[in-house]
Structure 1
Amino acid sequence: MGNVTVSIGGRSFTLASADGEEAHVARLGRLIDEKAGAAGVAGQTETRMLLFAALMLADELHELRNRPAPSPEAPTAPPVPAEVAERLGRIAAHVENLASLLESEAASA
Structure 2
Amino acid sequence: MKETKINDAIIGLKQLNEPILGSISFNKPVNQNTVITIKTSNMTIQAPIAQIKLVVFKLDAETFGFIFQNKFFYDKKDFETWNQDTKRLASHELERNF
Give TM-score, length-normalised by structure 1: 0.20
Higher relative contact order, chain-length normalized (CA < 8 Å, sep 6+): 2
Select the structure that is richer in helix.
Answer: 1
Select the structure that is richer in strand.
Answer: 2
